[in-house]
Amino acid sequence: MPHRSAYVCLSCRLSFKHSGQRTYHCPKCRRALLLAGDAFEAPPRRNRDAWRVVAVLLHAGLDFRQSCCGCGPGYRPRTLREVRERLASAERTTTPPTRALDTP
């Protein structure tokens, strides 16, 4: 079975599994889907805050790919509060935002 990764449409809050790395489009809005990774688990569609967290992480350059040991993508914030706290801390300490969001 080919390797399958999750692709998401942030505006429609939908997730799809596809194999291969090419440009896929949302069947609902026709926008390009973003690669989220093979370990991505989509939050419920009605949970807007969880989808905002996903959007912040993906736009920061983080994804949900399996690590080399197969134990998942590592730490990822789950709530908007955690995201805000980590970004504020990054600003105070001049840590890159991606690193602040990625470190437990």
Give residue 73's pLDDT: 64
Q: Give the tens place of pLDDT for each residue, 71-103.
A: 566 678 888 999 999 999 989 998 898 888 888
Please report, for the chain, the start and end positions of each structural domain, with discontinuous segments joined by +. Answer: 4-102
| Alpha carbon distance 24, 100 (integer Å) | 30
Q: For the packed helices 80-93 and 48-59, what is the interaxial angle rounded to 10 degrees? A: 30
Beta carbons of 21 and 35 less than 8 angstroms apart? yes
* Distance, CA of 97 to chain centre: 14
Give residue 17's pLDDT: 93
Tokens standing for 87? 């970004």
Give residue 22's pLDDT: 84
Q: Give the tens place of pLDDT for each residue, 23-69.
A: 999 999 999 999 998 889 999 999 999 999 999 999 988 888 765 55
Beta carbons of 14 and 28 less than 8 angstroms apart? yes
pTM (2 d.p.): 0.81
Beta carbons of 53 and 34 less than 8 angstroms apart? no
Closest by CA position to 38, among listed 77, 15, 85, 6 = 6
